[in-house]
Chain A
Amino acid sequence: MHIVVCTKQTPDSAAKLTVDAAGNVSWGDSPIVINPWDEYAVEEALLIKERLGGNARVTVISMGPEAALEALKHAIAMGADEGIRIWDPIFEGSDTLATSYVLAKAIEKMGDVDLVLFGKSAIDSQTGQIPVEVAYRLGFSPLTYVIKIAELDPAGKTIIAERLLEQGRQVVKAPLPAVVGTIKGINEPRYPSFMGIRKATRAQYPVWSATDIGADPAKVGAAGSGVRWTRIFSPPTREGKAEIIQAETVEETVRILVDKLMAEKVI
């Protein structure tokens, strides 16, 4: 079984974002890390591999410049088998449409992929569009918000997954190959191991160019993107007020809380 995990690098979640007058976004000198949601995807791939008694291969891919190596390295240090970076200067300026095209072309090139795992969204751009776009392009079953992979049958080529929706849990069965968007709670991602860290820092990370994956230059980068940015600005800072209700008794505290919530029309 061949499992691909798509991942990207993001600024550390503690990073402070600033936007200057010209609309340039900066994360300051924040460290670059693997997109935190993607750690669940990598962990799930490793758990599947362990369940199949090692009878699976986990490849992590990322479309991005040099910095994308951080995400690949982290995944290898956790235990993934191989990391491939997909990059070409003509990919610069890609929106999700162009990015999903590139990822799909790379997965297509591999030819033998049964399962593609994603994190819920990337913590920087946060559209959550990539997984479904990739599934659509490849014609794979799109399964998003997956909280549990209940069954995976490589021989019968089926997957049963539980999706966590606002209405509740939905159990779905789908044919493989499939795209799975994981969410927090599906597992507890492991830390990189020391042995994994050594492997990750010594591994080779092949770079696949536009030509390597047979990408049409008209469909990548700014040329292949549908999004046009008209203005970029910092959202106004939210001014919240916290109030701690302290009454003599629990009952009294609850009564005050309920009154306030009703007054604010929350309940």
Chain B
Amino acid sequence: MDFSLTPEHEMVVRMVRDFAEKEVAPYIKEYDRAHKPFVRAIERMAELGIMGICIPVRYGGQGMDYISLGLACEELERVDTFLRVVMSVHVGLNSLGLLQWGTEEQKQRFLVPQARGERWAAFGLTEPGAGSDVAAMAATARREGDSYILNGEKMWISLASMAHNFLVFARTDPKAPPHQGITAFIVERETKGITTGDIHGKLGVRAGSTGWIAMNDVEVPAENRLGEEGEGFKIAMSCLDNGRYTIGAGATGLIRACLEASAKYAHERRTFGRPIAEHQLVQQMIARMRRDYEIGRLLYLRAGWLKNQGIRNTWQTSLAKWFATEASFAAASDAIQIHGAYGYSDEYDVERFLRNAKGACIYEGTSQIHELIQAQYVLGYRQDRPLRCELPAYDPEEWQREA
């Protein structure tokens, strides 16, 4: 057993941290206050290769491993959640889905430009009437010759109004049992019949973008179908195994942000003749943040290690996501508590941390859904079955091969 990061990992951490601290931290409050998407930051992540970090070089990526993806997410969300949300949907939910399920031709056409950051990617699963209960989705896809005609609406989709490629799910067989009639499609923004918009008035990730996609008789060529007909539910779930990993890692970074801000403030602020850091009840909150940071980190690094090995990690990833997101919400709440009234204003970062933390307890499986998943595995109600396509294990040589 080896708990150390490689020198490569350490350099990745420093590089991503430098980027986030220099190019995002100084401006994030301004964008967040104005509910303005920080587009330049996403463009920079693309230029620096962060958006293709763990995709093989021959598919336009940087050839790093899955642990590097997690470490990058931790550093990004330490500065702001919206950066990590971009990673979750662009890399975790979409690009890794293409890597796992795509044909060689689909990888060349869609994964390459995504990994290079030239085309941004989103994931359209949720609908106005179907969130946790994915199988209740109403969007339809009707086969007509060499095409499918898609109709329906996707809601709460990160990067809806900005992404170039969408991975959307729709029902192809209305008569099949709910989980078996769903199919996945790669849809390009330019396709006729697609309209998108933003959702306004969000509690958090205000520097990011969350919106809706409406599909009105959208004609998608059959070669854009990801996987087989009826395989959509399985594909969605396997994409979530990767998206949730980025969230668990990111939420861990958010706990670290709370911890750093709290420790700093606790040394500065004095009450009753001493720094508040010396009051035991303040120490208790800080100790809990430290505990949760370390647990969150161990959980996501284990999940990353399993991915590197090519071992299924559904429950381990779910656990990392569930634990770290709930813990980040608690950490942010305590961070505000430690900052007193100042923490209640946007002069400090901690109120933004709280607003951002809540979303992650809802998307990609609410905390309740993860709680159920954990119990179901323990009780034997749920078991992993082999998939037709598994997420490939990380093989440095294979990942760094040029062609």
Chain A interface (Cβ within 8 Å of chain B)?
A: 31, 33, 73-74, 77, 191-195, 197-198, 200-201
Contact = CB atoms under 8 A, between A and B. Distances in A.
B62 A194 contact: yes
Which of A77, A191, A192: most chain B CB closer than 10 A?
Answer: A191
A204 to B, nearest CB: 14
Given A73-B11, A194-B49, 4 more contacts: A74-B11, A191-B19, A194-B15, A201-B8
A192 B15 contact: yes
Given A193-B49, A194-B49, A77 B62 contact: no
A201 B9 CA distance: 10
A38 to B, nearest CB: 15
Given A198-B63, A198-B400, A191 B8 contact: no
A110 B260 CA distance: 46
Nearest to A200: B11
A105 B7 CA distance: 31
A201 B64 CA distance: 13
A78 to B, nearest CB: 10
B117 to A, nearest CB: 12
Nearest to B11: A197
B48 A191 contact: yes
Contacts of B350: none
10 contacts: A31-B14, A73-B7, A74-B11, A77-B11, A77-B15, A191-B48, A193-B49, A197-B15, A200-B11, A201-B7
Contacts of A33: 14
Chain B interface residue number, banded: 10 to 19
Interface string B43-64: 0000011000100000000111
Contact of B63 (A191, A192, A194, A200): A194
A201 B65 CA distance: 15
A194 B12 contact: yes
B35 to A, nearest CB: 28
A74 B63 CA distance: 19
Which of B15, B18, B48, B64: most chain A CB closer than 10 A?
Answer: B15
A205 to B, nearest CB: 12
Contacts of B49: 193-194
Which of A74, A193, A198: most chain B CB closer than 10 A?
Answer: A198
A120 B370 CA distance: 54
Nearest to B8: A201
A74 B7 CA distance: 11
A260 B63 CA distance: 59
Contacts of A200: 11
Contacts of A193: 48-49
A159 B8 CA distance: 37
A148 to B, nearest CB: 22
A246 to B, nearest CB: 15
Interface string B1-35: 00000111001101100110000000000000000
